[in-house]
Amino acid sequence: MTSESKEEIKEAVRRGYGEIAKGKPGCCSNESACCGSSSPDKHAEAIGYTLDELNMLPDGANMGLSCGNPTAIADLKAGQVVLDLGSGGGFDVFIAARKVGEKGKSIGVDMTPEMLGKARAGIPKFTEKTGLSNVEFRLGEIEHLPVADNSIDVVISNCVINLSPEKQQVWNEIARVLKTGGKACISDLALKKLLPEEILKSAAALVSCVAGAVLVDETVEMAKKSGLHNIQIDEKAYSIDVLADCNDPLYRQVQEALPQGKKLSDFIISVNITAFKKRA
């Protein structure tokens, strides 16, 4: 893939999520009639978030864009420094902040200014609800994190790395910023088998987290190549077929590109990935 192609993909993702941040309906969003009776909170509950966690979020932080619960698999401790890659409206950043407490810190990085503005606007309400002032949002690309070497205890990410056209570079950055003994806890989508060419060419599919997914074995190899070890993959039973019924045009375009009689779940699964940085 050429440098120009990579930048085109990033720009397509940036535009797409910028529109979502400004209120364009997304799957299971408050503004959307898709997914039957689903809502962002019901979607989050289905993949392991608690009502207590959801109730303390600022309005708009949960946009129904998750495909797992990295804060749960991270087993966060008080005082840790957490970094969320592709933090969007701040959903997992705010939840992580409460888990690490006043002596910890929760940092989000996102390349979309509209998402960053939305997340930062939620900080006062989060502080009002929790009494915590341990959240920060930074503008940047996950391929080039605005974060110091060896400064993060836990890296999390939720349905974002699949969007990157430079996934090995993302894993290299995760390894760079983690402290020795630190942990990466990633929820993402992965391929069971290769997608049809029509989907791979679709910018809409990229924004909907589908075309950018890679085979599970490829993810393991990238994490290993970055220097991480003790890599574990847990395949989840979350049904991605909920996307097929969406009224959101992004998902509709993806569904229309599938071979007749095939469902998204024939190709895509949700996975939780954990990996560690070796101790010195």
Residue 64 near residue 44 (C-beta atoms within 8 A) = yes
The CA distance from 64 to 86, in Å, is 14
Q: How many CA atoms lie within 13 A of 227 on its CB side?
A: 17
Q: What pLDDT was estimated at residue 34? A: 32
Q: What pLDDT was estimated at residue 252? A: 65
Q: What pLDDT was estimated at residue 46? A: 79
Residue 69 near residue 187 (C-beta atoms within 8 A) = yes
Q: What is the value of pTM for the model shown?
A: 0.85
Q: Give the DSSP letter of residue 260.
A: T
**Residue in this structure with the two tokens 């902040």, named with its chain if needed:** 97
Q: What pLDDT was estimated at residue 24? A: 61
Q: What pLDDT was estimated at residue 197? A: 78
**pLDDT tens, per residue, the chain with 280 residues:** 667 677 877 887 788 788 888 876 544 343 333 333 347 888 788 788 999 999 999 998 988 888 889 999 999 999 999 999 999 999 999 999 999 999 999 999 999 999 999 999 999 999 999 999 999 999 999 999 999 999 999 999 998 998 898 999 999 999 999 999 999 999 988 888 887 777 777 655 555 566 677 888 999 999 999 999 999 999 875 556 554 444 455 566 677 777 888 877 788 888 999 999 998 6
Is the Cα torsion angle 273, 10, 248, 26 positive or negative in sign?
A: positive
The CA distance from 162 to 122, in Å, is 26
Could you state, in order of their start, the residue ranges of all structural domains in the chain? 3-75+158-277
Q: CATH for 3-75+158-277, among 3.40.190, 3.30.720, 2.60.40, 3.40.50?
A: 3.40.50
